[in-house]
Structure 1
C-alpha cells in the first residue's frame, strides 16, 4: 500500500490491519522505485515505515512500484528491518543480505486480464484482448495450480482501480470474481494461504533450501512502457 493512503483513508487502513491482514509497502506515492539512488531509497523506505508505525502498522516488506527493485534494495531493506521484497520476474529465494525475494508473477495479476498494456504477459488464453471476470477466475487458478503442482510459491496482485470500470463505481462482477478466487484457494487443502511476511519468515528460517537469485534486475520480458520512458528521461538528463 502507498503510504499517502494513511492520510486519506486512516479508518479503512486500521480496519484492514485489525482484521488480521498484512499491510506491506508500495512506496510513498507510486514513485518509480528502480530510479532511486541508495540515499533516496533509504529515505523513502524509512518514511514509509515510520508513517505506518504511527498508525500501529509494522511494515516488513516492499512490492516496489513499477515492480522493479532499486540497485540498493538488497541492503537498504534489511537495514530498516524489512524481511522481503516482491519484484516481478525475480526468482524466489533468500539473498546473502538476509532479504527474502518473493517473485511477483505478472501473469497472476489482474493487470494481465484487465489492463490493456499488460495483457501480453498473460499465459491463460494468450492474446491482446481484455478478458471477462469469468476468465480472470480460471486464469488465476491456472497460474496457482502450476505452483501447487511443483510445490512452489506464487504471489498474486490485484489493484482497486482494475476492479472498477470507471473512477466512480466498482464492478460487482470483477469483485465477485476476485472473491471466487479467494474461496477456491481457501477450500484447497494443498495450499498454504500465508501472508508474504509469513512466507518470508519461513524461507529465512530455512535459508539453505532457498538460494537467492544472482540479481534483483528485472527479466528481459518485463519492459513496460513507463520503464522505457523513465530510462529515456534519465539518459537524456545525463
Structure 2
C-alpha cells in the first residue's frame, strides 16, 4: 500500500516542494587517478569552457547551486573555485579523486578523508556536504562524516534526518544527466525500465525532469537535479539545461535552494523528515 503524500507544510512557507541544482566532477581528477588523462593538468574543457557557460545560465535564472568537487581539483582549478564562491554557490565534497566510495577499505577511506581535508584547508573551504562517488557510502562513513563536521550526505536513497546527525539529501539515477547521456549507464537504464540505447536522450531527460517537478509539487517531495559540466557538449544539451533552470526558477510552489540550505532546514525540523535509511 502506498504511503500518503507528506504534508506540503514541511517546507518553508509558501513552498510545497524543494529542488537543489547540483553539479559533480571538477576537471580530470578521476582520469588522472585511472591513468587516462593525456593532456596537461588544468586544461579540462569542462572547467575552461562548459562551466563558465553554466554559471552564466545559473546567474541568469538566479539559482544558487551546489558543486560536489573532488578535493584533488581544488588546487588545480583555484580560479574556478573562486568563481563558484563569488557567485554564491556551495562547494561540497566528492571524494579526493572520485574513488568509488563503497569499494574503499577502512584504511583507504581514512586516507581519503585526511588528504581531502588537507586540500580543503589549503583552499580555504569548509565542507558541509558530501556526495559519494558511485552513490553509496559504507556504514562507518556516517561517524567519520560527523567527526569531520559534515552536516549532510547526498547518496542514492531517501530524504531524511539520516544517521549520526548527518542529514540525507538523496539523488536518484533518473535525475542525473549521465543516466541518459552516457553509454556506460545502459545497464542502469535497463535496471530502471528504460531502453539501453536511447534515440533522443536529451528529450527523454528533459521530459522526465519536468514530469518529476510536477510530481514533487503533489507529494511535497525533494529533487536533486544533477548536471555534469563535462557532459554539456552540444547545443541540445545546453538547451535542456536552460529549459530546466527556467522551469524551476519560475515555479512559485518550489523552494529552489542549494543543498546546504535544504540540509539546514531538514536538520531544524526532524519531525517533518523521518529518517528512513537503515
Measured against the shorter chain, the TM-score band is 0.7 to 0.9
Unaligned runs of 5+ in 1: 165-170, 216-238
Q: Give the secondary-structure state (helix, strand or coil) at the position aligned to 1:95.
A: strand
Partners of 1:107 and 1:143 within 8 A in 2: no
Q: Give the 3 Å change call, closer, same or farther, for CA 193–53 of structure 1 in structure 2.
A: farther
Partners of 1:75 and 1:97 within 8 A in 2: yes
* Match in the other structure for 2:209: 140
Give the count of matched residue pairs.
208
Q: In the alignment, is residue 188 of structure 1 matched against residue 251 of structure 2?
A: yes
Structure number with higher strand proportion: 2
In the TM superposition, what is the alpha-carbon distance from 1:91 to its structure 2 partner? 1.3
CA RMSD of aligned residues (A): 2.2
* Match in the other structure for 1:230: none
In the TM superposition, what is the alpha-carbon distance from 1:96 to its structure 2 partner? 4.1
Q: In the alignment, is residue 45 of structure 1 matched against residue 113 of structure 2?
A: yes
Partners of 2:152 and 2:166 within 8 A in 1: yes
In the TM superposition, what is the alpha-carbon distance from 1:46 to its structure 2 partner? 3.8
Unaligned runs of 5+ in 2: 1-68
Off by >4 Å, runs of 4+ in structure 1: 122-125
Between 1 and 2, higher relative CO (CA 8 Å, sep ≥ 6) is seen in 2
* Match in the other structure for 1:8: 76
Partners of 2:128 and 2:149 within 8 A in 1: yes
Aligned equivalent of 2:194, options 103, 126, 133:
126
Aligned equivalent of 1:33, options 83, 101, 106:
101
* Match in the other structure for 1:155: 224
* Match in the other structure for 2:260: 197
Partners of 1:34 and 1:71 within 8 A in 2: no
Partners of 2:189 and 2:196 within 8 A in 1: no
Q: Distance in 2 between matches of 1:141 and 1:184?
A: 8
Moved more, 57-66 or 139-148: 139-148
Moved more, 103-112 or 45-54: 45-54
Q: In the alignment, is residue 80 of structure 1 matched against residue 143 of structure 2?
A: no
Q: Give TM-score, length-normalised by structure 1.
A: 0.79
Q: Give TM-score, length-normalised by structure 2.
A: 0.69
In the TM superposition, what is the alpha-carbon distance from 1:140 to its structure 2 partner? 1.4
Q: Give the 3 Å change call, closer, same or farther, for CA 76–125 of structure 1 in structure 2.
A: closer
Q: Give the secondary-structure state (helix, strand or coil) at the position aligned to 2:98.
A: coil
In the TM superposition, what is the alpha-carbon distance from 1:55 to its structure 2 partner? 2.1
